């Protein structure tokens, strides 16, 4: 997956936006103002921080060397994923899971507006 493909994937979700609060080199992807993915898209290797269920996060780290505790994030809830170390469909699933976890924490009216009750 290329940086452009990762950006496109993160932006394909309802109400997803890209912001640069930490400078032009770090893309922060949000839904309804809440962070669900963070990446320095020009870094090599390409990595992305994604929210994850705490139990699932531990399992994923144990099974995949390309998944580590979230760099500069709450390590219980965030993973850093080396994109090239995983198959594309798995990266897609992890990004979608991160988005869904963030949406699940939003008020019901916002979730309904996003078609994710």
pLDDT for 21-51, tens place per residue? 999 999 999 999 999 999 999 999 999 999 9
Say what the pLDDT of residue 5 is. 96
Say what the pLDDT of residue 116 is. 58
Say if residue 104's pLDDT is above 70.
Answer: yes
| Spatial distance between the Cα atoms of 70 and 36, rounded to a whole number of angstroms | 12
Contacts 24+ apart (CB under 8 A), 103-106: 103/31, 103/32, 105/34, 106/31, 106/32, 106/34
According to DSSP, the residues that pair with 7 across neighbouring strands are none
| Spatial distance between the Cα atoms of 28 and 21, rounded to a whole number of angstroms | 7
Say what the pLDDT of residue 114 is. 83
| Spatial distance between the Cα atoms of 47 and 99, rounded to a whole number of angstroms | 17
60-103 residue pLDDT tens? 999 999 999 998 899 999 999 999 999 999 999 999 999 999 99
| Spatial distance between the Cα atoms of 74 and 4, rounded to a whole number of angstroms | 26
């Amino acid at each position: 997956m290329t940086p452009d493909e990762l950006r496109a994937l993160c932006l394909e979700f309802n109400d997803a936006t890209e912001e640069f609060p930490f400078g032009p080199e770090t893309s922060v992807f949000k839904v309804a103002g809440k962070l669900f993915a963070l990446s320095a898209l020009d870094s090599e290797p390409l990595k992305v921080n994604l929210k994850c269920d705490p139990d699932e996060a531990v399992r994923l780290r144990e099974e995949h060397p390309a998944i580590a505790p979230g760099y500069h994030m709450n390590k219980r809830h965030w993973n850093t994923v080396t994109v090239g170390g995983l198959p594309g469909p798995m990266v897609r699933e992890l990004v979608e899971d991160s988005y869904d976890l963030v949406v699940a924490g939003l008020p019901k009216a916002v979730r309904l507006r996003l078609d994710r009750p």
